[in-house]
């Protein structure tokens, strides 16, 4: 847990019931350490788990209980509390997933004798379709990015080339934004037509780079080299997109901010544009052009095909269109009249 997470809200448990607080905090820290060491969880994932479990810890304090002391009824009451607060079913499902994993870990480590989360029911939810933008909108965005590189000089041109490179790489590969901004320089070793990406859980996958992405990358690397020469006092970075952030690389938030500014300049609705939307566009546009679902799963780095199946609505629409256009009897029913 970070200092910021501990300071999110007052923690009366630590002063009023130090023993309970100590047991709860120790359990969370051990669980997070396991996620990091054994599953290769990212910093963002660890922060999300810490936030969810601390929220439960503070709720249980109002019932005079620590995390290891919670019973199934306590967790059910917590889920009802989340629902009453108006949290979406998807958010509550994520919280439940965190609880299940946490208590399975406590049981495996003999910190509890029974799993209180084992039989909790997940909130019913409809899986929303991903937000999509058209191929035309992507082209407008990429064209505007190129215009920006040609209309600036100095550091502003470097930033424009970086953004153009990020966009081309994102749309060419479908990388997660966290994977993209944290790419190490070592990714440039080997075949220039491929990147080896280390994704969730430390799993590696190969993603191909098209010619346009390779060109944008080359222009950015030239500008990066010039930038380094002008800032020789700066410590060398191991990242492809270095910055002065605490992480040492460009942050997701900064990239998203620059992307929305670019969308506005291009005359697109900034609310529709985000790095994640471009990842969705990559997958949907591939499927729309006939790509195999399994191949898209591998490119996206999904461990389970069910995660990729959210895009099957694209396949369904394409099949309907194909049948409508090419089946000999597709329009045969048009001559029928309904009887009253």
Residues designated catalytic: 176, 200, 276, 279, 302, 311
Token pair, residue 83, equals 């629902």
Token pair, residue 138, equals 């992507």
- C-alpha–C-alpha distance, residues 291 and 298, integer Å: 12
Which residues sit opposite 239 in a β-bridge?
184
> How distant is the alpha carbon of residue 220 from its chain centre?
24
Token pair, residue 119, equals 């039989």
State the DSSP H helix or E strand holding residue 101, giving kind and residue range, or none if neither: helix 89-108
CA atoms within 13 A on the CB side of 303: 6
In 10 A of CB 309, how many CB atoms? Answer: 14
Contact 256, 275 (CB under 8 A): yes
Contact 218, 209 (CB under 8 A): no
Contact 179, 187 (CB under 8 A): no
3-state SS assignment for residue 268 = coil
- C-alpha–C-alpha distance, residues 197 and 38, integer Å: 19
Tokens 């051990």 belong to 30
Contact 164, 146 (CB under 8 A): yes
Say which residues have a Cβ less than 8 Å from residue 193's Cβ, sequence separation at least 6.
208, 209, 214
Say which residues have a Cβ less than 8 Å from residue 330's Cβ, sequence separation at least 6.
323, 324
In 10 A of CB 300, how many CB atoms? Answer: 22
Residues in the chain: 340
């Amino acid at each position: 847990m970070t200092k910021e997470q501990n300071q999110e809200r007052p923690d009366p448990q630590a002063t009023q019931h130090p023993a309970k607080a100590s047991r709860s905090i120790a359990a969370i820290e051990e669980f997070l350490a396991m996620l990091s060491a054994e599953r290769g969880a990212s910093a963002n994932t660890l922060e999300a788990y810490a936030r969810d479990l601390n929220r439960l810890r503070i709720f249980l304090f109002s019932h005079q209980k620590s995390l290891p002391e919670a019973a199934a009824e306590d967790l059910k009451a917590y889920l009802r509390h989340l629902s009453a607060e108006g949290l979406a079913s998807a958010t509550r499902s994520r919280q439940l997933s965190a609880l299940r994993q946490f208590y399975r870990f406590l049981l495996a480590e003999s910190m509890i004798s029974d799993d209180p989360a084992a039989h909790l029911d997940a909130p019913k939810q409809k899986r929303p379709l991903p937000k999509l933008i058209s191929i035309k909108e992507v082209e407008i965005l990429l064209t505007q990015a190129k215009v920006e590189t040609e209309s600036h000089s100095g550091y502003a041109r470097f930033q424009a080339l970086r953004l153009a490179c990020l966009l081309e790489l994102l749309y060419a590969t479908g990388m997660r934004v966290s994977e993209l901004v944290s790419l190490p320089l070592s990714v440039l070793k080997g075949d220039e037509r491929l990147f080896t990406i280390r994704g969730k859980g430390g799993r590696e996958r190969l993603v191909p780079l098209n010619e346009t992405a390779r060109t944008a990358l080359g222009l950015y690397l030239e500008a990066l080299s010039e930038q380094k020469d002008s800032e020789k006092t700066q410590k060398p970075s191991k990242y492809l997109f270095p910055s002065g952030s605490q992480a040492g690389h460009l942050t997701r938030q900064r990239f998203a901010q620059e992307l929305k500014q670019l969308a506005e300049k291009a005359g697109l609705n900034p609310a529709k544009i985000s790095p994640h939307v471009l990842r969705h566009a990559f997958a949907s546009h591939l499927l729309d052009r006939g790509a195999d679902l399994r191949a898209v799963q591998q490119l996206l780095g999904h461990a389970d095909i069910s995660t990729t199946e959210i895009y099957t609505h694209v396949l369904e629409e394409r099949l309907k269109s194909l049948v409508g256009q090419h089946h000999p009897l597709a329009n045969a029913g048009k001559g029928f009249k309904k009887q009253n």
